[in-house]
A and B are shown apart, each in its own frame.
Chain A
Amino acid sequence: MSENRKLIKIATAGSVDDGKSTLIGRLLYDTKSLTTDKIEAIERSSKQRGYDYLDFSLATDGLVAEREQGITIDVAHIYFNTEKTNFIVADTPGHVEYTRNMVTGASTSQVAIILIDARKGVIEQTYRHFFIANLLRISHVVVAINKMDLVDYEEDVFLKIKADFDVLVAKSDFSEDQINYIPVSALKGENIARQSDEMPWYVGNTLLDHLEVLEPKDLEESTVARFPVQYVIRPKTEAWHDFRGFSGMLYGGNLKVGDEVTLLPSLNTSKIKSIHYFDQQIQEAEPGSSIAITLETEVDLSRGDMLVKSGELPTSEKRLTATICQVNNKPLRVGGKYILQHGVNRVMAKVEQIESRIHTDFTGVEDADQLKMNDIGKVHFRLNKPIHYDSYHSNKSNGSFILIDEAEFDTVSVGFIE
């Protein structure tokens, strides 16, 4: 990374047997990211199972339970790089009951690859995967139409699936230029890293070329600066006697020395005196920087508070409405109390009303009195203290939260604020 390779984060989604693990294994193999000992292990395992081909899915299916069942059951992170780009793949399973895994994987990704089996076309699962990509506002979606080798590499099959998918795109918030279609055979390596001779009718990029031309800048939203205070640095040494650095990660927009800032919740104002990155003082920081900030005036500011540019204040409210995805076995119920973690800030939250359960196939909503694991619904909350938020639509990092069970401390829900 020191070589200034860019970083692209990808989530993959596909139904069982769409060949997702094979696709990832193929990407690893074709980018020479699999080492000899790993390839040997794959050859050995493939042989033991009596396959006459290399089972690349064995490169990614991690846990013993999964190897026994032959399906992936959780989010696995896989890394590979090319000369120019570092990739992180969050491999999420496509089972109907595993919405939570795809939401989890997609929450840290900029790009989603949705796999479709060319023989089956757009199925209910595809709707759900695309729905989640839409809900999480993934910046770019690649629709990889796989197993083209099993439909004789027919262009008509590809076009039919593309037309079906376009219908979904029209129902979503995506614009057409955020979606790309690529016909591939992961097993044979067609249009993965190598342009396919079998599909001369396809003139676009291979999957890898396509992923490589994406620019992280274009995939990150640019909005207003949000600086949640994570940890207050007080060295209490002779040399740094009066130093009080407010450390944290900067989101959304730049901050620079001299900026007029407003502190939340106090609404006090001050000016940025210095910005520190380790032993360097810098003039200005870009979003995504882990920095420490000092202010011109003595202020009361601690973990969970927020620093923003004056004139760019977020909403500060004790009530909010959010789309919730339930990620735990315990259902979300009206009247339920939770610890709400918004960035690094924690407050108590009570469920006032569950407005609806949302169909994840773009067919509307229904009434609900609880949200079970993998359900998505619209929920109204009341908080014991205001939080300083933006809508998820305008600011992902400041528009999302998790709910923590009061008794078990498990993470039970993720919320996207309206």
Chain B
Amino acid sequence: MNNLLIPNPKEAESIHIIREVAAQFERPVLLFSGGKDSITLVRLAQKAFYPARIPFPLLHVDTGHNFPETIAFRDKLVEELGLELIVRNVQDAIDQGKVREERGRYSSRNSLQTTTLLDAIEEFKFDACIGGARRDEEKARAKERVFSVRDDFGQWDEKNQRPELFDMLNGKIHNGQNVRCFPISNWTELDVWEYIKTENIEIPSIYFAHEREVFLRDGMIWTANEHVFREDHEEVQVKMVRFRTVGDMTCTAAVFSEAVSLDDVVGEIRDSSISERGARIDDKRSEAAMETRKKVGYF
């Protein structure tokens, strides 16, 4: 038996937030991408309810362009922890004509996820969606609340947010509204990596350096495969790379890396001079990219 618990303040805050979600909402769901942030959320949720099971399901909005390693990892995690997993596919929204697939050089299904997410919220009547967004990721996220109220259309009104005082969270909403909840708002990328290391949390293999067929465009490293649009002159090469975020293949750039262990990765992040979202191709579209997507219900 350990004698004295000295809390890790960020972890304790996150557990507090997750318990508030479970207590204040009827039908919460944890949005799971298979990335390190949502994997960290799962660990925190385990800690919040142990020895009981996590009292809400996971929802994965699958673009169909995920790295196969991520999907394999997801299924294993769900099985091991006895979690309930809901998968909804962007392909279905495309087939139903609700959204149109982008074509050409920078085409991506990333922004199409919004429609599928909103449909799933409606289908299951979710009133709270727990997400792994962090305020340090991007300027527009720095002002995001821990509990962020959205209307029926998933819209975020940045001028009309509820102030959050002390650690009191107000999740009262009307029918049709839902709340996006961000338990690791106050974590930095380095915090997440150090936590994964200390807690010895398993993560998908693509976070570690591996050989991969890639091509270079606009100073970024793109995955070469059938889902990613590539021009004939863009030459495919095999390189040692790893990923810092795990989104859709079409919007996630790799970095050159030799980091094969967690220690290597943490060291690399600490010395890194490129921000994590710097490797997100979708953010490069314009300076206000993230804010615009948030307003229409993206995470």
Contact = CB atoms under 8 A, between A and B. Distances in A.
B23 A41 contact: no
Interface string A229-253: 0110111110110010101110000
Interface residues of B, number: 64
A377 to B, nearest CB: 17
A115 B3 CA distance: 43
B174 A409 contact: yes
B97 interface: no
8 contacts: A1-B11, A1-B195, A2-B194, A64-B291, A79-B186, A286-B7, A290-B48, A400-B168
Contacts of B172: 339, 404, 409
Interface in A1-18: 1-3, 7
Nearest to A91: B142
B57 interface: no
Contacts of B6: 286
3 closest cross-chain pairs (CB), A and B? A2-B198, A290-B15, A409-B172
Say whether chain A's binding surface is mostly helix, strand, loop, or mixed. mixed
**Candidate in B49, B168, B174, B273 with the most chain A CB atoms within 10 angstroms:** B168
Interface of B: 1-13, 15-16, 19-20, 22-23, 46-53, 135-136, 139-140, 142-143, 158-159, 161-168, 170, 172-174, 185-186, 188, 190-191, 194-195, 197-198, 272-275, 278, 287-288, 291
**Candidate in B8, B19, B174 with the most chain A CB atoms within 10 angstroms:** B19
B9 A288 contact: yes
A397 interface: yes
A191 interface: no
A282 B1 contact: yes
Contacts, number: 199
A74 interface: yes
A54 interface: no
B36 to A, nearest CB: 14
A248 B291 CA distance: 34
Contacts of A45: 287
A138 interface: no
A278 B50 contact: yes
B184 to A, nearest CB: 11
A65 interface: yes
